[in-house]
Structure 1
Amino acid sequence: MNNRIKSAGLAAAALLAASGPALAQDTPQFSLSTETAYIFNTLLFLIGGFLVMWMAAGFAMLEAGMVRSKNVSMQCLKNITLYSIAGLMFWITGYNLMYTGVDGGFMGSLGPYSIDPVGGNALDTGYSTASDWFFQMVFCATTASIVSGTLAERIKLWPFLVFTIVLTGFIYPIGGSWEWGAGWLDGMGFSDFAGSTLVHSVGGWAALAGALVLGARTGKYGADGQVHPMPGSSMPLATLGTFILWLGWFGFNGASQLAMGTIGDVSDVSRIFVNTNMAAAAGVVVAVILTQIMYKKVDVTMALNGALAGLVSITAEPLAPSIFQSIIIGGIGGVIVVFAVPMLDKLKIDDVVGAIPVHLIAGIWGTMIVPLSNSDASYYVQGVGVVAFGVFTFGVSLVVWLILKSTIGLRVTAEEEALGLDKTEVGVEAYPEFGQGSGRV
């Protein structure tokens, strides 16, 4: 099982050492030069990186479609700003906390990350250090995007951005160092190939803590336990966002192979693509069938979240499963969404986009099922990892949310919430032609 700090140079060196027949017996022997392997490995980081960066657009469109029209500009603003904050914080503190000097411990070192100067990348690393930093950074930004959707329509902009600084600069990289930075969990044998727990559950735990402190949207839950639906502004936008996320996930999972300089590596990347796609497809189909059976109508939002839950579920181990196993893993992700969304409503936990079922609960499922296909993993160690990340992320996030609530405040006023955050927090309405009429829901 590859871990996040694996040197692609080792793969290149192994190929150069072996340089034997790779396929059939009559296949001519060949080997890649160190320079060529370096180029292919770097290219994988860069392609994977810009695909994961494009997921920021997916989150923005998904959230824009799932919130009411009076809050669309706010979600767009939050998503472009959180991505930018994540980039800065991952340079200032994040990368070094996650990868530098962890050595089996609980965190790395403080200080900005230093990219090698022009022409200064040593070939024995196996890839450009700048490409590695960029690829790791976009994962950090994904974690913050998860929180944005859950807390939509009632949180102030600036407290959310302050929390984003803490999440991307400290919470995410410290937790990530435990596994991908060769920290204590990696030493135990914990396995999370591309981040079902390290990225998705971390975002889900932070979102859950925020939702509990922030409370539900006004009017969402009645005194008698009734749930009042608050339909989103645009299902086309939400669907577009889901497809963008699905596309970006091929970079998310595929490039987490971390090397493309050998036949074995590029074949593994291809296998990851197939398994990732099949898990997402199964999540959609299961969600569609279940909502038809349970509600006599198909809920498009459940279908969209079924795709995402399937993707999150396969992310912890997208390489080892067979296609059939991938379908089962992703399909159960779809089951999780259909049952967890109404469960949260019964608990009066208001999650606007369904991020907690998709990223937290499906992320736990994906992490715990890794030993099914990966014999190097154990259910006990996977459980230790899930609990450790949950306690750390939820605990620290809860403290930060409570501090923000007691100092600068978290929630807009009831009047501002009724008018919409586009008008009261942003000043630029997404759909100004709707005015103040009944279309502004």
Structure 2
Amino acid sequence: MPRAGLRVCAVACTGLMLSAQPGAAEIPAETAYVLNSLSFLYHGMLVFFMATGFSMLEGGLVRTKSVSTILLKNVILIAVAMIGFYLVGYNLMFYNVDGGYWGTPRAWSPDQTDALSQGAAPASIWLFQTLFAVTAVSIISGTLAERMRLLPFFVFVAFMSCVLYPVQGAWGWGGGWLAEMGFLDFAGGTHVHSAAGWAALTGAIVLGPRRSRFADSGEVRPMAASSLPLVTLGTMILWLGWLGFNGGSQGSMDSVADVIAIANIYVNTLMATCGGIVATAALLQLLRRKIDLTMVLNGALAGLVSITAGPDTSGIVGALLIGAVGGCLMLWTTHLLLRLRIDDVIGAIPVHLACGIWGTLVVSLHHPEGDIRVQLIGVAAVAVFCVTASVVVWIGLRRFMRLRLSQGEEAIGIDRVETGALAYPEFATRSVLPGD
């Protein structure tokens, strides 16, 4: 181990031993600063790795003629979202909110004065929060895959990272009016997942389904995923990254109590995932006599989203039950969307919207300060804002830009139209058939 790494470990161990001794003095401010900064950086790296998970998941679920474009979207959106959150979003979400609706829209710059009083390196905090904004935007890309052009999508990404995500996030996490009411959302069941889910749902409705997805008779035409191994890999990466997503939201790691809390959050996050997997597999076996791999993987994600609003207080049994209900809710919402002829390519709406709402509401049952009325107000307020703002922007993009591919372009595949690069060129000579 490098000498610097040994020094950090020694500082961490010393701080833990000091805080573990009854009646001992608090650990030095510098030690707390290092530990908290390290927590944000380490957990932030896990959250960033989730971008890889989204890329693999979405790349595996789309058809072979769309893989290159969906991967490109997931790379560029990181850059657009981070720049937007740097220029406008971060301070809009956290600076001078003071119980109101939003902060001051200006570029972020680290405040280096009296650094120790801030508890952690300002850049580490900014990095962690920015990667949450990236995650929120990543949720949308897969829903609208295979028929939406790249340029209008990136315009929406810029809008979401600059305005939509930070404004509603300021209400709760930035010390806004929802925080004043006591709204609870530990790691983003509403502020990240359902907010992005509402944006994805409105986009899917305005954009319309893929042209070959639904028959005139109402029959749902199956569209084969390009790579189930990639889908599985992406889900497993997201599962790992979620530990950073939820664990890092503890916000500090400078005491024994914080470390215990982070460990409990990890366990509850894992067990909720297990609940989602088992419930989804059991229900599929009961209803269809076959277990669909993609649905089970979405069941895992449903469990993860369901626990995100309250992984700190659920307990192990509670986490299992919350995840299990999330898996069942995901299956029901997937069926509902198909009946309504809403085309969600990767199932992001059932996973992130439905389970984000469920997880936020159920916090009122296991958190000692939970109030179902406040939770309902928070969920409804974010829903109204995100739906209204998203509809305006989606319709505006459709009015002033060409939002989706033409019928001919969609038939030959978005990869040929938007990137010219084929992820699977060995299939390029096949005839183009409906559903390919």
Cα pair 2:19 2:255 within 8 Å, conserved: no
Cα pair 2:19 2:27 within 8 Å, conserved: no
Following the alignment from structure 1 to structure 2, what is the Cα–Cα distance between the partners of residues 89 and 417?
A: 30
Instruction: Show the counterpart of 1:143.
Output: 136
AA at the equivalent of 1:138: L
- Which one of the candidate residues 75, 98, 104 is aligned to 2:99? 104
Q: Say if 2:39 is the partner of 1:44.
A: yes
Following the alignment from structure 1 to structure 2, what is the Cα–Cα distance between the partners of residues 406 and 20?
A: 62
Following the alignment from structure 1 to structure 2, what is the Cα–Cα distance between the partners of residues 384 and 409?
A: 36
Following the alignment from structure 1 to structure 2, what is the Cα–Cα distance between the partners of residues 439 and 368?
A: 46
Instruction: Show the counterpart of 2:315.
Output: 322
RMSD: 1.5
- Which one of the candidate residues 57, 65, 76 is aligned to 2:71? 76
Instruction: Show the counterpart of 1:280.
Output: 273
SS in 2 for 1:178: helix
Cα-to-partner distance string for 1:186-221 (whole Å, 9 max, x where unaligned):
001100000000000011000001000000001111
AA at the equivalent of 2:242: W
Cα-to-partner distance string for 1:209-255 (whole Å, 9 max, x where unaligned):
10000000011111111111112100000000000100000000000
Following the alignment from structure 1 to structure 2, what is the Cα–Cα distance between the partners of residues 172 and 344?
A: 24
Instruction: Show the counterpart of 2:10.
Output: none
TM-score w.r.t. the length of structure 1 is 0.93
Structure 1 gaps of 5+ residues are 1-15
How many residues align structurally? 419
Q: In the TM superposition, what are the counterparts of 1:160-309 in structure 2 within 5 Å?
A: 160-309=153-302
Following the alignment from structure 1 to structure 2, what is the Cα–Cα distance between the partners of residues 435 and 164?
A: 30
Instruction: Show the counterpart of 1:371.
Output: 364
- CA distance 1:428–1:109, shift in 2 (3 Å): same
Which has the larger displacement, 425-434 or 246-255? 425-434
AA at the equivalent of 1:98: M
- CA distance 1:266–1:384, shift in 2 (3 Å): same
SS in 2 for 1:369: helix
TM-score w.r.t. the length of structure 2 is 0.94
Following the alignment from structure 2 to structure 1, what is the Cα–Cα distance between the partners of residues 289 and 114?
A: 59
Following the alignment from structure 1 to structure 2, what is the Cα–Cα distance between the partners of residues 35 and 115?
A: 18
Instruction: Show the counterpart of 2:415.
Output: 422
Q: Say if 2:83 is the partner of 1:88.
A: yes
Structure 2 gaps of 5+ residues are 1-14
Following the alignment from structure 2 to structure 1, what is the Cα–Cα distance between the partners of residues 432 and 75?
A: 27
Cα pair 1:121 1:128 within 8 Å, conserved: no
Runs of 4+ in structure 1 over 3 Å off: 19-23, 27-31
SS in 2 for 1:223: coil
- CA distance 1:439–1:405, shift in 2 (3 Å): closer
Cα-to-partner distance string for 1:290-313 (whole Å, 9 max, x where unaligned):
111111110111101001010000
- Which one of the candidate residues 91, 112, 115 is aligned to 2:110? 115
AA at the equivalent of 2:390: S
Cα-to-partner distance string for 1:87-133 (whole Å, 9 max, x where unaligned):
1011000100000000000000011001245xx56101110000000
Cα pair 1:312 1:358 within 8 Å, conserved: yes
AA at the equivalent of 2:380: V
Shift of 1:436: 2.5
Following the alignment from structure 2 to structure 1, what is the Cα–Cα distance between the partners of residues 85 and 114?
A: 20
Shift of 1:372: 1.1
